[in-house]
Amino acid sequence: MLTVPPQLDEQACRSSDEEAALDHPWLPSALRALREASATCPLSSAIVPLNASDERRRWTGTEASPAWNYARYDADGRGEALRALARFLGGERGCSVARLLAARAHELAEYTEMAESVGTRRFSHLSQRGNAPSAAAIALANEWCRLQVPPAHEPFVASDGPGVSLESALRSRLAEVAVDWPVTARAGMAALAATGDGFVAVAVGRRLTEATLRRTVVHEIEGHVLPRVRANRVGHALTRIGSAQGIAAQEGWALRCEERAGLLTAPRKHELAWRTLACARMADGASFVDVLRALQREAAFTHEAAYALAERLFRGSLGTLPGLGRESHYLNYYIRIRDHLAEHAGDEALFACAVVAPEWCADLRKAMGTGGVLR
């Protein structure tokens, strides 16, 4: 069964909008606006090419990049409304609640603009702001890419469908922790699995080892689903909103969950290392084809594996300019959360119960305050 860590039990953290409004009359409407913007953020769907599956089958490597097509998205002024909210909240000097929410509003505004600009130079510019692997992440990647990876002898299983599959395993684990979220199989996904707002998605028609199946279940459920569910069950408005860069930081938290389960193995570290190094090359100007060929030549990736990783990196672009590149988040935040917890061990409860980045933990703690009344 799902439990809330004792440091953030429901009674200690409960705070209603009415209580909050005593100190901040603007807070209830700001929270409603951010909840709606977060729930309807179009970026994750906008970056998936309409013809991703077709191009995966068709592309031969002779063209500069796959011929991806994207749906056009019109935000109807949402991005500017979120920026106006961020400006207003930024004017509330010395208020930790306002700082948290202003940064989240600005982030959601940027995501909205990115969704509107997929397939353009503007998208590539926005996606790369502060998104490159850190020096520490590159150093760790260079260490991990030299690990000896034994050949896999496990049988392969399917990503979706009945029987032994990732889809079935995710559904079983959700039932074990009493979380009633659907698991849906989706064509065109670059990732093997992904957690959204109240659902988990798996890619259609992919093969994976049983070890990868076990690890992916831990990564998605313990790393992504349970913190979001606990954030709602804790009953505090700010844990439900989360922080700027919280989604990025969750990838680092999910790796810690893998590590605790004994699943951050040499093959996984090798994969993460090359994700990071490939992302760094993309940030330095490498194209989709450059990255794919480097993975085949230097890391001995199969064509299928190299294409899958390059596709993930270049989501939202046309393959000649940088794409979303969220693969940098994994080691960036694995290191940052590790270092943060070395100094602030009590913040483990925050990562388990909120979608929060380590740089915002102090503000979140202060905003929640003693007894849960927002300050």
* Model pLDDT, residue 288: 95
Q: Spell out a b/e string for 77-108, using b for 16 or more CB atoms within 10 Å of the CB, else e.
A: ebbebbbebbeebbebeebbbbbbbbbbbbbb
Sort residue 271 into left (φ over 0), alpha (ψ -120 to 50) or beta. Answer: alpha
* CA distances to 110, 127, 169, 184, 345 from 365, in Å: 26, 29, 35, 35, 13
* Model pLDDT, residue 96: 87
Tokens representing 146 are 């030299």
Query: Rounded CA gap, 375 and 372, in Å?
Result: 9
Q: Residue 365, Cβ neighbours under 10 Å: how many?
A: 15
Query: Rounded CA gap, 129 and 248, in Å?
Result: 13
Query: Rounded CA gap, 172 and 180, in Å?
Result: 11
Q: What's this model's pTM, rounded to 2 decimal places?
A: 0.90
* Model pLDDT, residue 2: 41
* Model pLDDT, residue 9: 38
* Model pLDDT, residue 1: 40
How many residues does the structure list for the chain? 375
* Per-residue model confidence as pLDDT tens digits over 333-361: 999 999 999 999 999 999 999 999 999 99
Query: Rounded CA gap, 370 and 375, in Å?
Result: 9
β-strands 207-209, 156-158 pairing: antiparallel
Q: Residue 221, Cβ neighbours under 10 Å: how many?
A: 24
Contact (CB, 8 A) for 318 and 310: no
Query: Rounded CA gap, 20 and 184, in Å?
Result: 37
pLDDT < 50 positions in the chain: 1-22, 370-375
